[in-house]
A and B are shown apart, each in its own frame.
Chain A
Amino acid sequence: MADLRSNFLGIKSPNPFWLASAPPTDKEYNVRRAFEAGWGGVVWKTLGEEGPPVVNVSGPRYGAIHGADRRLLGLNNIELITDRPLEVNLREIKAVKRDWPDRALVVSLMVPCEQEPWEKILKAVEETGADGVELNFGCPHGMAERGMGSAVGQVPEYIEMVTRWVRNATRMPVIVKLTPNITNILYPAEAAMRGGADAVSLINTINSITSVDIDSFCPEPSIDGKGAHGGYCGPAVKPIALNMVAEIARNAETANLPISGIGGVTTWRDAVEFMTLGAGNVQVCTAAMTYGFKIVQEMISGLSQYMDEKGFTSIDEIVGRAVPNVKDWNELNLNFVTKAVIDQDTCIQCGRCYAACEDTSHQAIAMSEDRIFTVKDEECVACNLCVNVCPVEDCITMKELPLGALDERTGRKVEPYLNWPNHPNNTPANCGWDPEPAE
């Protein structure tokens, strides 16, 4: 069993798997169950100002996208921040932290964009003994219309301002949670950093309409015949989240800003991917909401086995390990040539590679009368679509042509690294990139 202990901003937890601020962390009862199941930490569901709590809809709060066999791929919600009184939440946070001192307990916050309410709630949270705060600048529905959540997160100046208020008002570590509903994730990340954030967490949910009822013509979830956009999460958003995490991790200005990775983490493997792209830990919500808290056991055992197999003794050895390999497109090697190869022993002859290539790509797969599918090297551009549509894992692989080998498609031999800026076709007429020195 590898050492999975995590130290994120000085907040220690027995493993890097936290539950994100969301319905699973709204109450003492749930959080205790989560800790009993083995979760390393939780970010308590967002607290608002003292006074009458917000009111949620009493119709459906979630919409979903399903894959085969109703596997839940994407979840959308229109729930607001906690709808329980502030003092109840604070009392429960204090009780849970007292009983579970070894687990991380961070409190998510969202109050109006004024200095005083922030200072006031921070004081109350400090008294609970919580380990840190996460500023919810991401919630895309309901609260945004009231000038909070993503309404703040979409304006870098507001992020910087509020973060600075918070930074100056508390000794607790401050995590700023970012919304993906922006054009460039670096602007809010840099703003949070300027404001003094200890870390950013991302992504919050994505504006979405998951489906429309084509009988009633109402978006789902339908509330009395009407629907509003919600926040999208779950496995479907993971690629978007990975990219945004990587953008922050490889950006010079924010390269040393700790990141808590969020967005579709469902298995230990997803968590490792986030961490290799720079996340110091991960936060999970949809997977727990789909399968219950027990999934953390698979995450723990999987991460442990992976680390043992790789010889990693600390999760710090994973964090950021893939970041140097994330590049802009124009740094990619245009002389790298691969060809698809179909393993006839494992091919089940479904012909999906053929249909995909013949109909929608480069006509690079041949089909014989007895349904033997083979790649035409002289046509294959190595797009990888056949690999992606093949139902049999590892049946189709991409084989790299070594330096000097003949690429039958171009009739040229494989040459050393060449990127677009240095490519002879890179003329001002078609692009205008300045040539850069080759690696």
Chain B
Amino acid sequence: MPINSSTPGIAAGRLPVDQIAAGFSDLDPPLSDHEALVAADRCYFCYDAPCTTACPTSIDIPLFIRQIATGTPEAAARTIFAQNVLGGICARVCPTETLCEEACVRETAEGEPVQIGRLQRYATDKLIFGGVQPFARAAETGRKIAVVGAGPAGLACAHRLAMHGHSVTIYDARPKGGGLNEYGIAAYKATDDFAQAELDWLMKIGGITIEYGRRLGNDLTLAALQEAHDAVFLGMGLAGVNAVALEGEHDGIESAVDWIASMRQSADKTDVPVGRNVVVIGGGMTAVDAAVQSKLLGAETVTIAYRRDQAAMPASGYEQDLATSKGVRLLFNAAPKALGPGEITLARTATKGGKLAETGEDITLPADQVLLAIGQTLAGAPEVLALDGGKIAITGPGRSSVPGIWAGGDCAAGGEDLTVTAVAEGRDAAEDIHASLMGGA
């Protein structure tokens, strides 16, 4: 019998290759020139614009949209990249509905914000796919900086340091760069190998080398990095995943992060195993990404089980709508309790007096595959560094407790764990490193 959505257990190739390809195509296709002009025309060019204030990297949004409207998307891209060199991926993955577009005055006026994210993609694609790196390196300073992690924080930091004329070596544990852009985010948000295209484009600045397969802690020690470099920036993200202790046995339980990482590396996704009935535990973006992609691979039923109510769900309303539009069921007030062969039992919960408590009622769902998306942890942080809430403690622009070591992105304490936040932290740390190395000159 051919494999399909109803095939029991966990199986790859539940859908024909073309159907999978269609499902994993661009979630928001690029704007055409005409669409971009129409969309740009809607911007009011606000004073001290709320969208810019809402952007963690403070992109001058009214200016770049006006540059698009006047026929110079290349200039628009420069405006974006000056604040956010990963403006290409951010245009694709930013939760704009809770950032710039939520703040847009046309959201206030009409419930329809200017399509800032898509306009940003329109502009940035011009330079990235045009192969134009708009920044030039300053004169070589002779300073060497180590960056750990080639994800958004590390790349933003490295690019800014290279611009200032420093020599940067990036060490990354994986065989490819890009971090979560390559291994984490949903495939339909960054199609056509975008993370690698963006990385290649970013590297055109010069002065940056990347060493792959170099994980901090193995052959690479913080002490050795400090010895060989004038400064160190840590942006290695969160390599560990939270665990949950559940009664019973289940042979299809896996970390959603790991499942997505291997799924992302599959060329046509027909070889990615997915359960007939999938239950994703969690309530954030990773949960939504895992659930939607399970469905796109042909799972018959996919349920996101979140222990709190809908109002508390970290995934935005937009992400929740995306999930339900793809056929994912959202189950709220359902905390994982026990596992059994092909099933999971969830305890129903309620918030009483501000505290989450089980109601005593259980629900058991068929579950060939259980994906855990209950958060990630900093694994193997160098002991010398002070931590804060399990992450590297920082003050100001990413200064760790050890002089000469900066940190940013998901591995650093504070801030939201968003790509755009990581970019801002990497960039700001780079400026601080530059100032400290050059004596404020």
A interface vs B, CB < 8 Å?
68-70, 348-352, 354-355, 367, 371, 391-392
Contact = CB atoms under 8 A, between A and B. Distances in A.
Given A68-B41, A69-B38, A69-B41, A351 B108 contact: no
Listed residue (B41, B42, B105) with the most chain A CB atoms within 10 angstroms of its CB: B105
Contact of A352 (B38, B46, B50, B108): B46
Interface string B25-57: 000000000000110011011111110000000
Given A68-B42, A348-B109, A352-B47, 6 more contacts: A68-B41, A349-B105, A349-B108, A350-B46, A355-B47, A392-B109
B309 to A, nearest CB: 30
A351 B109 contact: no
B50 A391 contact: no
A352 B38 CA distance: 21
Interface in B232-271: none
Contacts of A350: 44, 46-47, 105
A367 B53 CA distance: 15
A31 B156 CA distance: 65
16 contacts: A68-B42, A69-B38, A69-B41, A70-B37, A348-B109, A349-B50, A350-B46, A350-B105, A351-B47, A352-B45, A352-B46, A355-B47, A367-B48, A371-B48, A391-B44, A391-B109
A352 B41 contact: no
A351 B46 contact: yes
Contacts of B105: 348-350
A352 to B, nearest CB: 6
B47 to A, nearest CB: 3
B215 interface: no
Contacts of A392: 109
Nearest to A389: B44
B106 interface: yes
Nearest to B41: A68
Contacts of B37: 69-70
The 10 closest A-B pairs by CB, nearest first: A351-B47, A355-B47, A68-B41, A348-B105, A350-B46, A350-B105, A348-B108, A348-B109, A350-B44, A351-B46
A391 B41 CA distance: 13
A247 to B, nearest CB: 36
Interface residues of B, number: 15
B68 to A, nearest CB: 13
Interface of B: 37-38, 41-42, 44-50, 105-106, 108-109
A348 B106 contact: yes
A354 B47 CA distance: 7
A68 B43 CA distance: 10
Contacts of B41: 68-69
B204 to A, nearest CB: 28
A182 to B, nearest CB: 35
A363 to B, nearest CB: 14
A371 B106 CA distance: 15
Contacts of A70: 37
Nearest to A358: B47
B61 to A, nearest CB: 13
Nearest to B42: A68
A68 B41 CA distance: 6
A1 B44 CA distance: 40
A351 B48 contact: yes
Contacts of A352: 44-47
Nearest to A70: B37
A354 B105 CA distance: 15
B130 to A, nearest CB: 19
A371 B50 contact: yes
Contacts of A391: 44, 109
A70 B36 CA distance: 13
A348 B51 CA distance: 13
Contacts of B45: 352
A348 B108 CA distance: 6
B75 to A, nearest CB: 15
Contacts of B109: 348, 391-392
A69 B36 CA distance: 10
A226 B116 CA distance: 40
A344 B47 CA distance: 17
B383 to A, nearest CB: 43
Nearest to B108: A348
The interface centre, meaning the residue of B38, B46, B47 with most chain A CB atoms within 10 A of its CB, is B47
Nearest to B53: A371
B109 to A, nearest CB: 4
Contacts of A367: 47-48
A371 B51 CA distance: 13
A380 to B, nearest CB: 18
A348 B43 CA distance: 13
Nearest to B106: A348
Contacts of B46: 349-352
Contacts of B108: 348-349
A351 B47 CA distance: 5
A350 B48 CA distance: 8
A211 B33 CA distance: 21
A204 to B, nearest CB: 32
Nearest to B34: A70
A68 B106 CA distance: 16
Contacts of A355: 47
Contacts of A68: 41-42
Select the residue from A70, A348, A350 with max chain B CB neighbours within 10 A.
A350
B150 to A, nearest CB: 39
A364 to B, nearest CB: 15
Nearest to A359: B47
A354 B45 CA distance: 12
Contacts of A371: 48, 50
Contacts of A348: 105-106, 108-109
Nearest to A354: B47
A410 to B, nearest CB: 28
A419 to B, nearest CB: 37
Contacts of B48: 351, 367, 371
A352 B46 CA distance: 6
A354 B48 CA distance: 10
A68 B70 CA distance: 11
Contacts of A354: 47
A368 to B, nearest CB: 12
A350 B44 CA distance: 7
A27 B230 CA distance: 82
A352 B48 CA distance: 9
A355 B46 CA distance: 8
A201 to B, nearest CB: 35
B53 to A, nearest CB: 9
A369 to B, nearest CB: 11
